[in-house]
Structure 1
Amino acid sequence: MSVIRFFRQNGWLLVGMALLVACTALAVWQVASQRGLDALRQAGQHRLELYAASLDRAIGQYAYLPATLELERDVLDLVAQEQPLGAGVSRRLERLNLRAGTRSIYLLDRHGRVVATSNWNRPDSYMGEDLSYRPYFLAARQRKPGRFFGIGSTRGESGYYLSSPIMSDGELAGVAVVKVGLDRLEQSWATVEVPVMVTDRNGVVILSSVPGWKFGTRLPLDAAQYNALRDSQQYGAETLRPLRMPVQSALDDAAALLQVSMPQEGAGDIRSADGVFLAQDAAFGDTGWTLTVLSPAAPVLFLARVQAALAALAVACLCILLVIWRMRRRQLQDRLEAREALQRAHDELERKVEERTRTLKEAQDELVHAGKLAMIGQLSTGLAHELNQPLTALRTLAGNTVKFMARGELGTAQDNLERIGTLVDGMGALTGQLKQFARKSSGTPGEASVGRAIEHALLLLDQRLRQAGAQVRVTLEDDALAVRCDPNRLEQVLINLVANALDAAAAAPAPMVALNACRRGRQCIIAVRDNGLGLPEPVRERLFEPFFTTKDAGAGLGLGLAISMGIIRDSGGTLEGANHTDGGAVFTIHLPVAGAETCIEA
């Protein structure tokens, strides 16, 4: 089957199978990716809770510290009455800072100026700085605890600021501030298996397990936002650059798939934070911070693609098996149709062969009969002579009989009448044999007496034999010898062969024709021999060809031997022509013996 024919017969089926494979792959991809992402979200939610708890512990352990400073009398005197106790309070704050492990602890008066600090003895001390613009001071002045993440204006260190108002007689006397460093927390996050980051209310990353993400923005800042943040100096001299984390698809308000790319700048090895991630957000208390966990989604999506590919492959294999089954079924159907068509053609051919055989049989019968008629035509001169003499004798005897009866010689008349009867019987036998020979036979093999067939053939050729002066020798080993052949057609073959033998022996000084018949096992062998010149090799090769003859024009059509061969072959025998060892030609007939089972040797 050609490719074009295959696609022509199975085009729609292949299109349907392709759609089925594509739909299966898409459905499996959606189900597998959804399941994988759901499992990833559960794990991410658990990590969010753990990271939130660790961040809450890191900050919460210092939340009480600013408020405790309000209990110190020296602190109240310092900020409320502006007593010259700054050096002593600063030393106490220094010892407290060392014990607490914070970055710095300092006190602001009601105007926002630093009046005592734990780093009083360092060159970059906060002492005397005006921090009234800081959000944590502004929150404390409103009698509320302050929470603020930023970069220090003096040393440029990032930290988390916790502030608490110091009240005296119901009035704001000052503000206590504790600066906490979250470096250890970030270091612990750097060892976790998935990236995590914290963004403030401005969308700026203030904490991250990936150093290169810190002080980046989840979303690009417009010019007004950027200038406002720069003027506030909350992030010091850090460049707020947007992170390359475009959203591929939003799953809900708290989860989305991000395509994370490595930033152009940043420290640390962040190759593990490059690819597709499931980002899950959670608000952290009332700080305005957002905690984000990024779980790698590439393995989940890859596994979903593998499962979709396997499902598509399985469906494709089933479709291929279906196509093979369909092709096999079509082949079987085509083979069955071809077999039926072949059977019909065979039946039609059988019918035509049978019809043609019948036609040929009829034509052969007509040809055999025509050969008989032609042979009768050749024998007509001799037969006319055979009949003419008895007729002349009859005329003479009849006239003499009348005269004898008139003279009263009844005895002589009676003798003449008896002679007339004998002549009439002979003429009747001859015409009867001629009539029997001339009739149209069926050609169906019967039982023919070999001796009778030879006798009848010689009778019809008697005139020619006498005219040629030929000697006839007949050797018949068994008078009862019979063969399976139509008697009339056997006579026709013998007449043909004897007539040809007479023609071949005509040039001999003493023409001779010999007929021998014997039995060899189940075969009867009839040989017709002459003493002529024999058969030349070119003639022997074409003996039985139709219309081949060595006779003069008008003496024959060359059909006698061909017809004889057909008659013998139809009877289950053979006819052969050869040269005899003693000279002349010999034609041998082999025919099955009628009812013979044993071989009789001569």
Structure 2
Amino acid sequence: MAVLGIDLRARRWALAAGLCALLVVALAVAITDRVMHDRALSEQAGLARNDAAILASSLRSELDKFSLLPIALADDPQVRALAAGDGASVAALNGRLEALARQSAAAAIYVMRADGTTLAASNWRLPTSFVGSKYAFRRYFHDALANGSATQFALGTVSREPGLYIARRIGTRAAPLGVVAVKVEFDGLERSWRDTAQRVYVTDRDGVVLLASDERWRFHLAQGASADGRDADADLRQFGIRTLRPLAIVSPNEGEAVRIPLLDTRQPILPDGWVLHLLADPAQRVDAAVATGRLALALGFLVLAVLAATGVVMRRRRDARAQALLDERTRTLREQLSQANRLATLGQISAGVGHEIGQPVAATRVFAENGQKMLAAGEVEQASGNFARIVDLADRIGRITGELRRFSRRQPADRREMPLGEAIDGALLLLRDRIRSMHVAIDLPPEEETQVVVAAEHVRLEQVLVNLLQNALDAAGEGGRVTVAVDAGGDAVCLRVIDSGTPLSPAQADDLFRPFATTKPDGLGLGLVIARDIMRDLGGELAYDADASATTFVMTIPRA
């Protein structure tokens, strides 16, 4: 029964692991498909933008080629003479226009009188000749008379072929003589679009399709365009259709399980706010990208499986050999680290104890000598007080050396909430005799500022302050002045120790926190280094204020 229970649990674990593996694979496939899908769409969109820019540039060049013709002809003396009725030869002008149309590949070039009657045309030989026809109803005609120039895309009334009419006024606005017009047809351009299997169409500013690779799209309303407010009679005259229907373009992958919409890339083209639309089908590129991604994912899983199997086999083979070597190296490394730590601790203790407890030891000696004298004089109670102070100083020295020893080992300090004044009072107690003997004036902050509560460790904070005060006393000298200031604003408390001694030179300031750099004959140059490390370990900072007018050290202490 026990074996059966173990076997059942193993099966459950195997089933759970298999389900997790399936979920991971499914998630990886889904993410890969999405990434490859988006990347393929982005690549297709970039290619479509480039193609659309090329097509737009080609169409723009085609239009630019014809735009200068009516301008030049409107100023031609023969054209002006004919329009003005000055007896110019119509036959000669017809021949010139015919030659120009053949050279420029224009569908038609013709000259109209101010009433819209065509006087001469390049197609004068054809049955569909414009000569004699009246085009005053065309918008391009009256716009050209009014504004000097105009364009209009429309269906030809005679040829029934669509094209762009580019018109130019002959004469001045005050005295118009007529209009010269050039009709441009785009059969060749549309044919090239069809030959390259590109889905392209061009719309005007109202969204009406004017040119298209599929002629069935022409004179439909593109997506976003509305038929509301359109003049049916004007549309009939211009496009030969009273009601313009919406353009419906079906994606080649319509009806498939996964539908990918066609990408509509747009390029603006003059004149009259034309826009070229290039429809790109990303389905093939997306399918290929997704297939490539899945293949790469499958290969990746296969490689991972092979690597995992190989790793398991090799790990089992080398575990026995590596264990002994690992144990030996671990013991060697631990001994090296232990030795380095002991050396570092020894250096910290040697410098710190000699530098930081000199004054408490001297005070202990004074209290002991005085206690002996008091006992000899029979002042037992006073002597007992001295011995109690000796005990306190000994405990203080023990706490300092203990804290320095723990600090050198990089052990976290036990911080607590404490009034800042406790550390200030303790430091002044240790240095009181020296301060008195040197006749140094100590300026202390107001009592309410010293009562600010900080998050620190009493002995170590006091140790840093003692170090700074000792340095300040050395710098201030006999009869000098030392100021202790507190700034309790903000999230941290700043305690400044300022002395009246000679300010430090820039070179000295640069070396302040460099180990073994000192200006004292008997100094080791470790006091400020240790003090700054203590402050940083307490979550604060110790810095030299180079911008202050006097020598100033700033202790930044976290507020409780």
TM-score range relative to shorter protein: 0.3 to 0.5
TM-score in terms of structure 1 length: 0.43
Rg larger in structure: 1
